[in-house]
Amino acid sequence: MILPDGIFISFEGGEGSGKSTQIRLLEQWFRHRGRDVIVTREPGGSPGAEEIRALLLTGDSGRWDAVTEALLMFAARRDHVERTIRPALARGQVVLCDRFADSSVAYQGYGHGLGADFIAQLWHLAISGFKPDLTLMMDLPIETGLARAFARFADTKTAEDRFEKMELDFHQRLQQGFRDIAVAEPERCQIIDADGDIETVSGRVNAAVENFLAGRSR
């Protein structure tokens, strides 16, 4: 199935939920169907947003208070949307994004306790409420995800572990946040069981995308 218009798909979920791996596989899936695809991420995805990413993901877990963290996230997000996402959609590309504004609802709204309404106001002010066409929520037991994340850090030696170092109850709150978002917006969000081997989870992702595309083409 080939659709000429741009499509914006985001992947959400807790740490170590397999988003990056599944994005790469879905990129191949779309390319095999003749689509031009870009893969991007948050925080980041544009030169300015990548600079802010370093401020957000490195250092001590208490480096920023919740409001400052949320403002930095949306500053990066606005630059990302204006310089990368909107132009790609205008060109008719498929945009696959590792996290978007739902992460701010989950991390800063639920995890840090700012509340979903506060994040919704920032979302509106910064990017006029702009949302993905489809959001895939990768759902995985917290302990499994954190174990995967820390194993990855050991392999890559990355310093981007600020959120992983937060307390377990923080991760429990953000997982609930993602689940609540999916329940509130079932027309946009699909929960994907991310507990399984890569091929099995990829099959679940592909099925969700195929259903979305079938509904979009009607």
Q: Find out whether 115 is annotated in a ligand binding site.
A: no
Query: CB within 8 A of 150, min separation 6: which ones?
Result: 16, 161, 164
Q: Find out whether 16 is annotated in a ligand binding site.
A: yes
Q: Find out whether 17 is annotated in a ligand binding site.
A: yes
pLDDT of the residue at 3: 44
The mean-pLDDT minimum among 72-76, 88-92, 172-176, 208-212 falls in 172-176
Q: Is the dihedral of CA 163, 167, 169, 172 positive or negative?
A: positive
3-state secondary structure 25-57: HHHHHHHCCCCCEEEEECCCCCHHHHHHHHHHH
Q: pLDDT grade, residue 49 (50/70/90)?
A: very high
Mean predicted confidence (pLDDT) in 137-144:
87
Q: Find out whether 187 is annotated in a ligand binding site.
A: no
Count of CB atoms situated within 10 Å of the CB of 197:
8
- DSSP category for residue 112: S
pLDDT of the residue at 15: 79
Superfamily of domain 7-216: P-loop containing nucleotide triphosphate hydrolases (3.40.50.300)
The more confident residue out of 127 and 5 is 127
Q: Spell out the domain ranges in the chain.
A: 7-216
Q: Which two structure tokens, joined as six digits, stand for 93?
A: 């590309």
> What's this model's pTM, rounded to 2 decimal places?
0.89
